[in-house]
Structure 1
Amino acid sequence: MKNGLILVLFAFMTISGCNTATQNESTAYDDRIDGIFTGFDDANKPGAAVAVVKDGEIVFKKGYGSANMEYDIPVTPSTVFHIASVSKQFTVFAILLLAEEGKLNFDDDIRKHIPEVPDFGKTITLRHLAAHTSGLRDQWNLLALAGWRLDDVITKEHVMKLVAAQNELNFDPGEEFTYSNTGFTLLAETVARVSGQSFAEFTKARVFDPLGMSSTLFYDDHEKIVKNRSYSYYNTGNGYKKSVLSYANVGATSLFTTVEDLSLWAMNFETPKVGSKEIIEQMNTLAQLNNGETFGGAYGQFVGDYKGLKQIQHGGADAGYRTYLARFPDQKFAVAVFSNYADANPGALALRVADVFLGDQMTTEQQEQAAIPDFITLSEEDMGSFAGSYWNESGVYARKIYFKNDTLRYFRGENNESPLMPIDQNTFQMLNVEVDLKVKFEEKGDKKTMIVTIDNGDPIVSEQFEPLDYSRADLAGFTGVFYSDELSTAYTLIMRNDSLIATHPRHSDFSLTPIKEDMFSADRWYFGNVRFERNLDNSISGFRVSSGRVRNLLFEKEED
């Protein structure tokens, strides 16, 4: 009996000791993750939620800060967020479910299912749409050019009418990768038409309910009440304001979910309860261009390395919502980070969480390769020597480099600039971006070139130029009313204080700055650069706008 009692006590102590060790390990993780989210752990600020999946279960979940600042409602792991473009992987998944059932083919022409998509003379497949290689202009840029604010109520019908009015593509399908939200709106509409259900109904019945994602829905009605939802905010410098979102369109965006529910989705990639391993494999496979090259994009996701580990991820940003889901399939690990604060960087936060759990699986060499390089000190004179305007001919855009507050800055347009920190005499690291982006300056004759590399990819070269100095009389030749049939809208160009000004009934006025002959630049994200076209008599006939995800959109000059 005594020996038996000793054995029982020994067993109890052993079990107790194991539990204590596990508890200590868990507490250590908790403390380190809490440290990552210190900046959000304030009831008077917008917040964040995080969940970590390891080996098929949630091993950590927590909320920080405020989900609703007007009513002091805290963020919890059960708080519902709009997760923006993280929605896209669900849209591809829905298409592949129907393909597996033989109801459509991933290589179908989109016009087979949505005949009102214009015939551009080139076949656009569902695969092209899912890989951002369709050439279709982006819906948000088009809407903004047409005079919409992104906090307007924007419905599926609005987007579909805009698509139906397009006359041109950015490029031939499959030739390039350019991110296009339009393609995913069309994919969601394809699911609806083939299944006979709304996209929200189909995904609820076929994905969310089977996975137990009880707080998840595609939000296709801007007036719908959603329990436990968060609202988004931005900082004005003098306090916070609401960042309003009234979307009523789905596919490219508008998934409402929690970090808990999204964890169930992440687990489905490892052990499919919905869909098949073949669907998962297809979604994770890198897409190819017509020339056989890959570009880091899969289908509704992006594939790359983080500190030597394979990462499959997507981020999202609408209004003040910022979201990120990262999966590390070889480690059976995933992390989701949501925030309702426009200045949040959930990708960086998620990867710091990944460091906590997976750091010991990265070799020293891999960690050094991924580390941000040491910065050096350059004089104001040295950094100022790189200031100027730079033109990229292939991308048809201008960038400005200028020195401000002891820092060199890379300026893309209104409220869109990034600081550059020197890592050698001519090379700079860009801060506050989710990629490894370096900017190098080189002399080319009497001018400089600016070479941008992203994640050690192909260099993007821009040449320094001096913006053309038009006289007032010359600028007056560009004035008039310019109308777009594709957008059903017009801009009026006028002279004001010796400057060429663009006006629109729904937008604030903005100036057009001369770059080169007949080429101007605007400081609006949606307007970009303007190339004027002329008649045989050399008079202005119209202009074409290029703004990143929209190229060469024609506005014709109306007769006086």
Structure 2
Amino acid sequence: MPRPTLLHGLAACLLVLAPNAHAQSPAAVDFTPLDRELRAFKQDTALPTGTAVILLKDGKVAFEGYYGNADLARQRPVDRQTLFYIASATKPMFALDVLLATHESRMPADPSLQAMFPGLVFPDLDAGRVHLRELLVHTSGIANPGLGWATAFSGVHDAGSLRALVAQSRPDPDAPFGRFDYSNLGYNIASAWMDRADGRPWQDSMHARVFAPLGMRHTTARASEAEARGWTVALPYSAGTTAPSTPLYLRKTDATMHAAGGVLSTAPDLARFLLAQLAAARGAPAGLPTEVLRASQVRQATTEDRYLDFARDGYAWGWYTGSYKGQSMRHHFGSFAGFHAHLSFMPEAGLGLVVLNNEDVLSARLTAAIADAAYGLALGEADAPTAIAGRFASLRQDAGRLREAVDQQRAKLAARPWRLGLPRAAYAGRYRHPLLGTLEVRLRDDASLAIDWGVLHAVASAYDEAERMRVEFVPGSGQVVAFEVAADRPTALTFDGLRFTRVD
């Protein structure tokens, strides 16, 4: 039986997403309840970070609103020109780019991992079994933490090290081949291949095939382009820190803008992307090949999961599939330090939603409340205004309790006793990984230990096991660093299964 290719399932797509009969457009929907609650929420939480919202209905913008600030210190408000980092909401764009490239016959339709990297030895993996399709729909059954850290976080990589890191892929004991297990890995591997197969960096490919044809003129996969053009990029904040009004230190660079999470965009540009998806679903001209867009929306893997309000029964080409408010929905969200993004659309109902935030703790639930309100009003739910008021009231209460919870958690971490067996100065030094670069441990003037690795920086805190300490390379997300000690000298350190050997 032949393997399904990237565009396999197009016939099913034409059935599943066949256009419905178009009724006359209903009267304009009153979105005042949503607008009012959003403005009150920004004021009441005393953390007016930014939120951008666009709801699409029947091919038009039905609601558009901008709230809070891209830069709190300068009180620079969010507007139509503000770029947000959208993190994993990049995936439907990259997957679409791959489908378009294969549609144009610029690249093989569904090569195996071994065929993608001829001559590369995979010592721990049957690379002939895994194909491009499995990489993009999260069923490859492989793991590779080093590649993920290099591309998304440290930025310490080049073409050669990425290729060598790809070869370190191994079977994932917790997610065997064929089982859906969401991660960035497949997209990172696919982009390393695509750079060579398509004859240009994936960032240029995505601009040429997706952004430019759809008129996404304020969208880029390079942080340096946004800076060079003088575009306003929202700063990252987090209500989960001890200083929520201070931007987080971790910023995206070109080296950490990756195919699984590497786009800066505005709400209007992302609305254009959704308009193309909605148009194609109804068989209308979409600015890109309709058959490819429609095929990209077809479920390829199954799962039983949910994220907050959003049920998930499968995964298409960069889109989760499921139902919401009784309607078929495609969606993908993105979360990273200081940002939360939401892209969703209902093919049969003709509705789509963009929500962008430059805050990462309150914003997940805030966005769920926005989606509940926007879709509820657009679908004509009779109790929508009352439900909106109640949900936002509950959200404000939770936001009020968050400060106390953060302080308690930080106090708990600070109370841990140090279990390092040597004076802290003994641990200072440089530790090297053959493919991931050098990690430096420094003793600071206040006697604390700090770690620097590429664009990452963290000040360590205690951990309650011997020869270990805790760091937050990514604000709000802790990792345990374990030292190896021999003859009263640290000789190596390990975190997330990655071993760095001391070199001085």
Aligned with 1:485 (options 415, 434, 442): 434
Alignment of 1:8-87 (within 5 A): 22=27, 25-26=28-29, 28-40=30-42, 45-69=48-72, 72-87=75-90
SS at match of 2:348: helix
Encode CA deviations 1:57-104: one digit per residue, 9 max, x unaligned. 211112223334566543223433332221111100010112223333
**Do the aligned partners of 1:41 and 1:64 also contact (CA within 8 Å) in 2?**
no
**Do the aligned partners of 1:310 and 1:329 also contact (CA within 8 Å) in 2?**
yes
**Do the aligned partners of 1:113 and 1:193 also contact (CA within 8 Å) in 2?**
no
Alignment of 1:123-522 (within 5 A): 123=127, 124-132=130-138, 133=140, 134-137=142-145, 139=147, 141-142=149-150, 148=154, 154=155, 157-158=157-158, 161-162=161-162, 164-165=164-165, 168-169=168-169, 171-172=171-172, 174=177, 177-219=180-222, 221=224, 224-226=227-229, 228-234=231-237, 237=243, 239-241=245-247, 245-248=251-254, 249-272=257-280, 273=286, 274-287=288-301, 296-343=314-361, 344-345=363-364, 347-348=367-368, 349-358=370-379, 360=381, 484-489=433-438, 504=451, 507-508=457-458, 510=460, 513-514=463-464, 522=470
Q: Percent identity?
A: 21
Distance 1:480 1:73 in 2: 41
Distance 2:213 2:420 in 1: 67
1:122 alignment partner in structure 2: 126
- For structure 1, list consecutive stretches of 5 or more residues without a partner in the other structure: 1-17, 149-153, 375-403, 416-466, 495-500, 547-551
SS at match of 2:218: coil
1:112 alignment partner in structure 2: 115
Letter in 1 for 2:434: D
Pairwise CA distance, 1:242:
6.3
Larger radius of gyration: 1
Pairwise CA distance, 1:325:
0.8
**1:528 is the counterpart of 2:473:** no
Distance 2:73 2:404 in 1: 35
RMSD of equivalent CA atoms: 5.1
Pairwise CA distance, 1:259:
1.7
**Do the aligned partners of 1:166 and 1:486 also contact (CA within 8 Å) in 2?**
no
SS at match of 1:234: coil
Distance 1:470 1:72 in 2: 44
**Do the aligned partners of 2:430 and 2:438 also contact (CA within 8 Å) in 1?**
no
Pairwise CA distance, 1:285:
0.8
**Do the aligned partners of 1:232 and 1:342 also contact (CA within 8 Å) in 2?**
no
**Do the aligned partners of 2:223 and 2:264 also contact (CA within 8 Å) in 1?**
no
Distance 1:44 1:480 in 2: 39
Letter in 1 for 2:196: R
Pairwise CA distance, 1:468:
13
Pairwise CA distance, 1:492:
7.0
Q: 1:142 to 1:257 in 2, by over 3 A?
A: closer
Encode CA deviations 1:213-253: one digit per residue, 9 max, x unaligned. 23333226357423543321426547443656242134223
Distance 1:159 1:256 in 2: 23
Q: 1:52 to 1:193 in 2, by over 3 A?
A: same
**Do the aligned partners of 2:236 and 2:338 also contact (CA within 8 Å) in 1?**
yes
2:498 alignment partner in structure 1: 553
**1:100 is the counterpart of 2:103:** yes
Higher strand proportion: 1
**Do the aligned partners of 1:95 and 1:106 also contact (CA within 8 Å) in 2?**
no
Question: What is the count of residue pairs matched by the alignment?
Answer: 428
Distance 1:297 1:130 in 2: 10
Distance 1:406 1:45 in 2: 20
SS at match of 1:331: coil
Distance 1:80 1:480 in 2: 39
Encode CA deviations 1:323-374: one digit per residue, 9 max, x unaligned. 11122223221110112334433632333322322363999xxx9xxx99x9
SS at match of 2:208: helix
**Do the aligned partners of 1:492 and 1:504 also contact (CA within 8 Å) in 2?**
yes
Distance 2:191 2:169 in 1: 20
| TM-score for the superposition, normalised by structure 1 | 0.60
Q: 1:310 to 1:263 in 2, by over 3 A?
A: same
Pairwise CA distance, 1:169:
3.3
2:10 alignment partner in structure 1: none
Q: 1:93 to 1:40 in 2, by over 3 A?
A: same
Q: 1:553 to 1:170 in 2, by over 3 A?
A: farther
**Do the aligned partners of 1:50 and 1:62 also contact (CA within 8 Å) in 2?**
yes
Higher helix proportion: 2
Distance 2:48 2:420 in 1: 50
Distance 1:510 1:306 in 2: 42
**Do the aligned partners of 1:307 and 1:362 also contact (CA within 8 Å) in 2?**
no
- For structure 2, list consecutive stretches of 5 or more residues without a partner in the other structure: 1-23, 281-285, 304-311, 395-402
**Do the aligned partners of 1:234 and 1:243 also contact (CA within 8 Å) in 2?**
no
SS at match of 2:34: helix
SS at match of 2:171: coil
**Do the aligned partners of 1:314 and 1:324 also contact (CA within 8 Å) in 2?**
yes
Distance 2:429 2:252 in 1: 34
| TM-score for the superposition, normalised by structure 2 | 0.66
SS at match of 2:247: strand
Pairwise CA distance, 1:159:
7.5
Distance 1:302 1:158 in 2: 31
Distance 2:357 2:372 in 1: 15
